[in-house]
Structure 1
Amino acid sequence: MPFNRYRYIALLSGFLWLSSVWAQTEEDLLIERLVELSAEDLAEDVDLSELQEQMEFYRNNPIDLNRTDGSEMQDLRFIPQLFIDNLIAHRERSGKFASVYELQAIEGLDVELLRMLTPYVTVVLPRSLANTGAKQLLNEGKHDLSVRYGRTLQQRRGYAIEDTSRSRYLGSPDQVLTRYRYHFGRDLRIALNMKKDAGEAFFSGAQRYGFDFYSGSVHIHDQGRLRDMVVGDYALQFGQGLAMWGGMSFGKSSSLQNLARQATGLRPYTSSSEVMFLRGAAATVALGRLAVTPFLSWRRLDGSVSYTAAGEAVVGTINQTGLHRTPTEVANRGALQQHVYGLNVQYRAGRLQVGTTTYHTGFDATVQPQDLLRNRYAFRGRSLWNTSLYYKHSWRGLHVFGETAHSIGSGFAFANGLIASLHPHLSLALHYRNYQRDYHSFFNQGLAEGSTAANERGFYSGLMYHPNRKIEWTAYADFFRFPWLRYRVDGPSHGVDLLTQFTYIWYKKANVSVRYRYRQRQENAALGLPEQTVAGVLRQQLRISGQYTLNAAWSLRSRLEYAQYQKEGVAAEMGWMMYQDVIYKPMGSRFSGNMRFALFGIPGYNSRIYAYENNVLYANSFSVYHNDGIRTYLNIRCRIARKMDIWFRYAAFMYRGIDQIGSGLDAITGSRRSDVNVLLRCQF
C-alpha cells in the first residue's frame, strides 16, 4: 500500500503519544557520540558491546587514581591523552590523591570533562588476591548473567530451500547470546560468551556441541609486579596500531583526540565478535620503568583450503565473518590453524613512553591469494615476522606520538602525529602516514582511509576551537593517496576527506550541531570500456542534529541529514533522512524506554545514510538507510526485581515501491522487515 503524508503524520503522532520509552544512560550517550563520529568508517556489523561493557564495568568499579598507569582511562575513550599524562605527573609531583576532587587542580580539566569523568574514578586502599580466600571470593564477588534472543520475523529465502544440493541455511533464524561475567572488584574478572547467529545450527549438525562460538577469559589485574595476566581470549593494543591492535578501534572523526591511538596494552577479549583476537595466554610484568608483555596464541580460522598436486595445503581467502550457516561456510570453519607468539617491552619515564613489539604469525597452510594484479604485493606464505618501535610524549600542552613498523622481508609502515594546545581555547592536530604497498600484518588497525594500514600515504590536519563552554567548532582535512591497485580500483588513486562541525550547548539543557562532510575518492569507471579507467567519486553530507531536555524524565533528540553521491559518467544520487527520538526516564520507576520514528528518501545504496540506534543492553548498533520508507523502533526496560531486568525491542523498516528486501539467501519477499530482541539480565 503506498505511503502518503497523512499516514506519516498519523504514525508520528501515535509514537509521540506513547509513554513507554527507554532512557539513555551516560554510557549510551558517550558510545553514541563515539560511533556517530566515525560510523561510516566502521563495519556494518560492528560489535559495540565490548565498549559498553568496559564503561559499565568502570562505573561499577571505578579507576583508582592512585594505582592507575593511565591505561584504564584510555579504555574510556573520551579522556584526552594530554590530561592523562598531566594526571600522572601531578600524582608523581604532589603525592597520592586524597580525594577525587583534587582533579580540579590538574591542567586540561574543564567542567564537562570533570562531569563525565567523576563517575569512573575513585580513591581506595589497595588489596591483594594473595590475602583473599575462596570464601571471600564467593561472598564478595559479583555475578552477571544475561541471555539475549533475537529474530527477524519475516522469512529469508535461505530458510525456505529444502533441496540439500543447493546452498541454504542449515539452522533456524533465531539468534542467541548467553553472557556471564564475574568480577572481584578490579582484581579478578572472569568472562564467558556463547553465541549462535541466525542461520546456524544449534545442538545439531556441525554445531552438535550447542553454540557456534564460545569465548572466555580469566583476567588478574594489578597484583604487585604482575600488572595484568589473561588466560583464554585476549587482545593486545600497542603503539598506533600498525603492528598489533586487537579489538575495537575508531577512525577519523570530529573529535581530534581520537587521532592518537590510546593503546591499553593487554586486555581480556569480551566481545561477541569472532575476529581480531588472540586465544592462549599473556601477561604484563612491571620491572621498574619497564613493562614486559610476553604472549602466546593458538586458534583456528575459517578459510577455503585446497591442495596442490604435491599435497601442499593452500588457502586463498581467510574469512572474517564468523558465520557458519551454509554448507560452504561450515566446510570452511576452522580449516586454518594460526599460531602467534611474541614480546612487547615498554619503557616509561615521566611523560615519555617508548616501546617495541616483535611477534611471529604462522599458519599450517600456505596463504596464496588470487592471481590478480591488485594482489601482486599481498602476503604469501606460511610465516610472517612483525616488529615495531613506537613512542609518545607530552610537554607543555604538546602531545607527540608515532610508530614505525616492519614486516620482515617486505615493507614498512610509518605514522607520526601531534596534538597541540595552541591556546586554552584552540587545539591543533597533525598526522602523517606512509604505509608501503608490501607491508603486511594480520593485526593492524592503524589510522587509514583504506581497510588496512597498507598501500596508503596521507596527511591529516585538524583544528578545534572552544571559546567557551557553549561553543565548539571542529574542522579537519585529510589528503590521501593509494600508490597501488585496490579492490574496484584498477590503478593508483587519490582523494580528500574534509569535515567541519559547529556545536552549540546549553549546559544540561540542550545542544545543536551542524556538520558538513566532503569526501572525494576514485574507483573504476562504470563506462563499459575495454580497459578499466579510474573515475572520481564525490560524496557530500549535511547533518543538523540536536537534543533537548524537557525535564528530569523526558528528553527529545532530532536529526535531519542530506547526502549526495556523484560518480563521473553516472547520474547523481541525492537522499535525505530525518528522525525524531523520544527518551523517557522516570526517577524510581520500574519502566523506562525510548523510541524512534524516521522518514527517509534515498534512491540507492551509494547515497546511504548511517544512524546510531539504541538497542537492548550490550546490543547497540547503527542502521544503514537507503530506498524510501519509514524506520521505527521501540525499546522498553522493566526492572522485575532489585537485581533482575528485562529489555524488549521491536524495530521495523517499511519500504515503499519495492517487493523484495535484500538479495541472495538473505532476500525477504515484500516491503517490510521486522526484528525483535529480548534480553534477560540477572545480577547476584
Structure 2
Amino acid sequence: MRFNRYVILVVGLLAMSGLYAQSETDLLMERLTELVAEELTEDFDFSELAERLEFYERHPIDLNATDGRELRELQFLPQLFIDNLLEHREQSGKFVAIYELQAIEGLDIELLRLLLPYIVVSAPRALSEVSVSQLLKEGTHDVMVRYGRTLQQRRGYAITDTSRSRYLGTPDQVFARYRYHFGRDLQVALNMKKDAGEAFFGGPQRYGFDFYSGSVYIRNQGWLKDVVVGDYALQFGQGLAMWSGIGFGKGSMLQGIAKQAMGLRPYTSSNEVSFLRGGAATIAFGRLSVTPFFSGRRLDGSAYDTTGDEPAVGSISQTGLHRTPTETANRHALSQRAYGANMQYESRRLRIGATAYHTRFNAAIQPQNLLRNRFAFRGRSLWNTSLYYNHSWRGIYLFGEVAHRIGSGFALVNGLMTSLHPHLSLALHYRNYQRDYHSFFNQGMAEGSGAANERGFYSGLAYHPNRAVEWVLYADFFRFPWLRYRVDAPSRGADLLTQFTYTWYKRADITIRYRYRQREENAATTASHNAIVDVLRQQVRVSGQYKLNDTWRMRNRLELAHYQKEGNATELGWMVYHDVIFKPMSGRLSGNMRVALFATPGYNSRIYAFENDVLYAYSFPLYHNDGIRTYANLRYRFGRKLDVWVRYATFIYYDVEEVGSGLDAIEGNQRSDIRLQIRWQF
C-alpha cells in the first residue's frame, strides 16, 4: 500500500477517536522535548527542566517582582512577550490579577494556558530579611530515592571470563537526591547516581555511587544577583560559545528557535556530561552585570600512547557510563580547566553581551587521522569569544550572536520573530558555522552534532485565527560544507514540518502533523569510494486527548514513519497507542497506563514516543521491530509529606529470539523494567 494511502487511513481512524487533556506540565514537557529527543540517547535525562517547572508550580513567579529571568527559565515564553509584560507593568502599575496578562500584546490563549500554573501576584519575603534560625526552621527539604532495573538478564552480566568485556557491577539503577529551598533565593542540591552495570561500593567504585553532583545557589542579594559554588550551568547568547545544561531548538513551538539564555544557574540534572564544576557569580552594576567563572573537572576519554612525550586522547566520551573494563579505564582520563567572564548590558528592551573564556586540557586532543577530521580540534587549549544581542522594537524581536575561536573559525546566528497580524506570527533564523569553528560548550541550533560545519536558513509561521485553532509550519534548509560521519562529500538537506491543532476548550484536542526530512549520506555500496545519495524520512502523526471528567482522561496516537534510501529497502512503519490517566482532584492514588502496538521493518523507520514516568523521569523510548509496548505508573500520597511511585514497563516483540545486541542482549522476546521512587518533603 502506498504511503499516501496510509496517511488517509491515519487521519480517518483518529478523527473518530476521543482523547484526553494531560496535565499542563506534561503537555509542556512533551512539546519542548519531542523533536530533540530523536537526536539524544533513549534515557537522556530531562530532569533539569522537569524539576524547574515543578519548582515554579510550588513557588509561582510573582509578576510584580520578576525582572524577567524567572520567566525565561520556563523556556516557552517569547522574549518579546516578556519585554511587553515588563513595559506594561512599568507604565500601568503593578498587576492586580494574573488575567490582566490578556491585555498584553503577544499573548494568545494557548500561551496563557501554559503560563497560568507558574505565576502569581504576591510579594515574597527577601532572603536578606531572614535570620539564620529562620533558614533552619522555615526552609523546605526534599529527599528522593529512585531504584530501577531490567528484570531479564543481559549478556554482559552472565560473562565470568575476566579477559572478556563484561559488566562489572549489578543491573540495579540507583539515584538519590536532596534539595533544600528557602523560597526562590537559596537552594542546596546534591545528586548521587549509579547506572545499571556499574559497580557500587566495590571494585572501581569503592566510594559508592559512580556520579556525585552538588551545589549551593544564592540569588537576589542586592548587587549579587547569582552565586553558585559547586556544579553549575552557564547559558549566554544563542549558545554558540557558552551553553551548558539542557537546550532546545526546532519544535512545534516557534519561539524555541530564539534561545532563552538564563545566565548562571545551578546544575541539578543527573546527566554526567554537560556542566561546569567550581564557582561562578553574577554581579550587577546598575544595568551592567558581570559573570566571572572558573571550572575544573575530570572527563572520560579514549587515552592512548603516542610516539612522543605528550599524552593524548582520541575523543571525549559523552555517555557517563562506567560499566566495562574499557569504560572504567577511560574514566577521568582527561582533566579540563575553563575560566573566563561574561559581561552584559540590559536596558528596557535591549540586551547586548560579550563572553570570553579559556579551556585547557592536561592531554592533547588528537582525533583519528581521517579526511572528515581535517578541520577537527587538535591540541590542548583554546580561547573562545562571542558577542550577542537581542532587541524588541514595535512588535519585532531581533536576536543574534557571533562567536570566534581565537586563531580559527567563526560561528554566526541572526534571527527575528514578529507578528505579521494579531493572529499570524513569523520566525526567521539564519546560521553560518564554519568548519573550523570549535567550542566545547556550544549548543547552537543545528542539524549536525554541534555549531560547526553548517549553514542553514529556517522560516516558520504560526496561525491562531481563534482560541480553538492553531496551525504551525516551518521549513529549514541546510548545507554541510565539509565531510561528516558517513558522508564523504559536502552535503545538504531539508526539514519541513506542518502541524494543525483543534481544541475543544478544557475538554479535548486533536493534532495532525506531517514532517519531511531529507539528507544526503554515503550510498550503501561496497565501492572503494562512496557516492552520496538522498535519504528521505517522512512521518505522519494524528493524536488527540479527551477529558471524560475530573478524574478520568484518555489519550491516543497513530503514527506512520517512511524511510527511503537508494540501495536500501524502503521501510514503512507504524505505531498506535492508547493511554488512560486516573488523576482525581482529591485523593491519595493516581496513575496512568499505556498499551501500544507497533511494526517497523528496521531501525531506520523507528518511532519515538513520549512516555509518562515517575516524577522527573520523562522518557522517549524508540519503537522498532514488531511488538507490543505497555507500561503502568502508580503514585500514592502518604499524607502531605511522603509520596511513592511505582512503574512497570515492558516490550514484547514478535518473531525474535534475542532483544538488543552486544552486552545488552537479552535471550527471548521480552524486556521488562521496574522502577520504584520515594520522595519525602519536610
Query: What TM-score results when the alignment is normalised by the length of structure 1?
Result: 0.95
Once the two structures are TM-superposed, the CA of residue 382 in structure 1 deviates from its matched residue by 0.6
Alpha-carbon RMSD across the aligned residues, in angstroms, is: 1.4
1:44 aligns with 2:42: yes
Q: Deviations over 1:454-513 (max 9, x none)?
A: 000001111111100111111111110000000011110001111111111101110001
**Residues of 2 paired with 1:532 and 1:115: CA distance?**
51
2:484 to 480, 483, 486: 486
1:159 corresponds to? 157
Once the two structures are TM-superposed, the CA of residue 432 in structure 1 deviates from its matched residue by 0.6
1:10 corresponds to? none
- 1:347 counterpart letter in structure 2: Y
8 A Cα contact 2:43 2:621, kept in partner: no
1:285 aligns with 2:280: no
**Residues of 2 paired with 1:44 and 1:115: CA distance?**
30
2:511 corresponds to? 513
Q: 1:205-604 alignment to 2 at 5 Å? A: 205-604=203-602
8 A Cα contact 2:31 2:253, kept in partner: no
Once the two structures are TM-superposed, the CA of residue 397 in structure 1 deviates from its matched residue by 1.5
8 A Cα contact 1:292 1:345, kept in partner: yes
8 A Cα contact 2:468 2:505, kept in partner: yes
Moved more, 418-427 or 249-258: 249-258
Q: Secondary structure at the match of 1:159?
A: helix
- 1:581 counterpart letter in structure 2: D
**Residues of 2 paired with 1:572 and 1:190: CA distance?**
52
Q: Secondary structure at the match of 2:300?
A: strand
Q: Deviations over 1:372-423 (max 9, x none)?
A: 1000000011111000000111112211100000001100000111111000
Once the two structures are TM-superposed, the CA of residue 72 in structure 1 deviates from its matched residue by 1.3
Moved more, 81-90 or 492-501: 81-90
Once the two structures are TM-superposed, the CA of residue 276 in structure 1 deviates from its matched residue by 1.1
**Residues of 2 paired with 1:38 and 1:543: CA distance?**
17
**Residues of 2 paired with 1:139 and 1:584: CA distance?**
36
2:112 to 109, 114, 139: 114
**Residues of 1 paired with 2:381 and 2:36: CA distance?**
34
- 1:499 counterpart letter in structure 2: L
**Residues of 2 paired with 1:218 and 1:259: CA distance?**
31
8 A Cα contact 2:543 2:558, kept in partner: yes
Q: Secondary structure at the match of 1:342?
A: strand
**Residues of 2 paired with 1:73 and 1:353: CA distance?**
16
Q: Deviations over 1:586-639 (max 9, x none)?
A: 232211100000000100000000000011111110110000000000000111
- 2:327 counterpart letter in structure 1: E
**Residues of 2 paired with 1:548 and 1:99: CA distance?**
30
Q: What 5-or-longer segments of structure 1 have no aligned partner?
A: 1-21
8 A Cα contact 1:23 1:593, kept in partner: no
Q: 1:573-652 alignment to 2 at 5 Å? A: 573-652=571-650
Q: 1:24 to 1:180 in 2, by over 3 A?
A: farther
2:136 corresponds to? 138
1:33 corresponds to? 31
Q: Deviations over 1:28-63 (max 9, x none)?
A: 221122222443234333211111100011111122
**Residues of 1 paired with 2:186 and 2:122: CA distance?**
16
2:658 corresponds to? 660
Q: Secondary structure at the match of 1:31?
A: helix
8 A Cα contact 1:37 1:255, kept in partner: no
Q: 1:23 to 1:281 in 2, by over 3 A?
A: farther
**Residues of 1 paired with 2:38 and 2:303: CA distance?**
33
Q: What is the count of residue pairs matched by the alignment?
A: 663
**Residues of 2 paired with 1:130 and 1:595: CA distance?**
46
1:16 corresponds to? none
Q: Deviations over 1:85-110 (max 9, x none)?
A: 10112223334434434333322223
- 2:301 counterpart letter in structure 1: G
Q: Secondary structure at the match of 1:467?
A: strand
Q: 1:23 to 1:558 in 2, by over 3 A?
A: closer
Once the two structures are TM-superposed, the CA of residue 279 in structure 1 deviates from its matched residue by 0.3
8 A Cα contact 1:428 1:461, kept in partner: yes
Q: What 5-or-longer segments of structure 2 have no aligned partner?
A: 1-19
- 1:593 counterpart letter in structure 2: G
Q: 1:123-202 alignment to 2 at 5 Å? A: 123-125=121-123, 127-202=125-200
Q: Deviations over 1:294-327 (max 9, x none)?
A: 1100000011223334321111111110001011
1:63 corresponds to? 61
8 A Cα contact 1:660 1:668, kept in partner: yes
**Residues of 2 paired with 1:122 and 1:570: CA distance?**
56
Once the two structures are TM-superposed, the CA of residue 68 in structure 1 deviates from its matched residue by 2.0
Query: Percent same amino acid at aligned positions?
Result: 70
Once the two structures are TM-superposed, the CA of residue 124 in structure 1 deviates from its matched residue by 3.5
**Residues of 1 paired with 2:67 and 2:343: CA distance?**
15
8 A Cα contact 2:21 2:545, kept in partner: no
Q: Secondary structure at the match of 1:622?
A: coil
8 A Cα contact 1:23 1:592, kept in partner: no
**Residues of 2 paired with 1:128 and 1:43: CA distance?**
41
**Residues of 2 paired with 1:43 and 1:351: CA distance?**
38
8 A Cα contact 2:352 2:389, kept in partner: yes
8 A Cα contact 1:42 1:250, kept in partner: no
8 A Cα contact 1:575 1:600, kept in partner: yes
**Residues of 2 paired with 1:264 and 1:69: CA distance?**
12
Moved more, 102-111 or 281-290: 102-111
Q: Secondary structure at the match of 1:240?
A: coil
